[in-house]
Amino acid sequence: MRFIAALALACVGTFAAAASPATAQTFPTRPLTLVIPFAAGGSTDLVGRLVAQRMSEELGQQVVVDNRGGAGGNLGSAAVAKSAADGYTILMGTVATHALNPLIYTKIPYDPVKDFAPVSLLATVPNVLAVHPSVPANNVAELVALAKKDPGKFSYASSGNGTPLHLSGELFKTLAGVDIVHVPYKGSGPALIDVLAGQVPIIFDNLPSSTEHIKTGRLKGLGVTTTGRAPVFPDMPAIGETLKGYETYTWNALFAPAGTPPEVIARLNEAANKAVSDEKTKAKLAEFSATVVASTPDELAKHVQSEIAKWTPIVKQSGARID
């Protein structure tokens, strides 16, 4: 009897070991949830919904979008971090959730490195430095000269304290050696209203939000924040062409909970990269100046580490803290 029981246990162990890779190979067998940690309508939501639609086709299972906004992306990110590590709940992360929030919030319910398994850096979206037409500057160098001539006279608007746009402005101040005053708003919409009205002369904004205003001349676009120029404005220089080393942008990346099996991560990576590399998806993303990356998990892990390292001194100098 003891021999039979031992044999039975050994068989169970053998079958369990054999079943594990089979489960990974057949993943997924039911719908997935893609948590977008922001409200519907923003650039992250747009990217997420495009990716979810194509991933559904690639995986043969529906990828359901779940918008869980709140606390600058912390609530939705924490929910995914605490989910089962089986690949069925994944996160559309950003520079805010995985680089800035851990540096700015005094209390954060997750660790951006330890609590997540990187899947893929999907796309990047440039920000833009723009001014009201009344500002007598037509390029970055002229704006820097104006600001240096009258320290503290000029101010810039952003979508809020501690946001990527606020810190884009702080990096500009540091590299240009200028004193311009930050005016935070509750979102890009209210910030744009005041800049368009001439109440605030300068704005750092997501390029998609300001594109039409720049095209119609209601704003002057002085420079994009990426190292290269944006295809939608090929004649607009990158800020880095004047200020060496300047680079900021919004990025979207896919993460799973830490401990998700490597085989499942590989399947998600394959589906996500095929989704953003699809010609129709790329064309849609290009409409709001997003550039497809489609990285490996290891490349995304290194990207997160480099972003945290880049933003740490900038956040410290800005004094941005949120309780």
pLDDT of 2 above 50: no
Q: What share of the chain is helix, strand, coil (3-state, %, to 5)?
A: 45, 20, 35
Q: To the nearest whole percent, how much of the chain has pLDDT over 70?
A: 92
Euclidean distance between CA atoms 218 and 310, whole angstroms: 33
Q: What φ, ψ does residue 231 adopt, rounded to 5°?
A: -55, -30
Residue with tokens 């070991």: 17
| Three-class DSSP category at 296 | coil
Q: Start-end ranges of CATH 3.40.190.10 in the chain?
A: 126-241
Q: What digits encode the pLDDT tens for the residues 91-115?
A: 999 999 999 999 999 999 999 999 9
Tokens of 50: 């495009």
CATH code that applies to domain 126-241: 3.40.190.10
pLDDT at 121: 98
DSSP per residue over 160-201, as a string?
STTSHHHHHHHHHHHHHT---EEEE-SSHHHHHHHHHTTSSS
Read off the pLDDT of each residue in 15-39 and give the average, rounded to a whole number: 73
CA count, 13 A, side-chain hemisphere, 169 = 27
Q: Start-end ranges of CATH 3.40.190.150 in the chain?
A: 28-125+249-318
pTM: 0.80
CATH code that applies to domain 28-125+249-318: 3.40.190.150
Least trusted range by pLDDT, from 34-48, 155-169, 260-274, 291-305: 34-48
Give the ranges where 177-261 is alpha helix by DSSP (H). Answer: 188-196, 207-215
Which has the closest alpha carbon to 118: 260, 302, 256, 251? 256
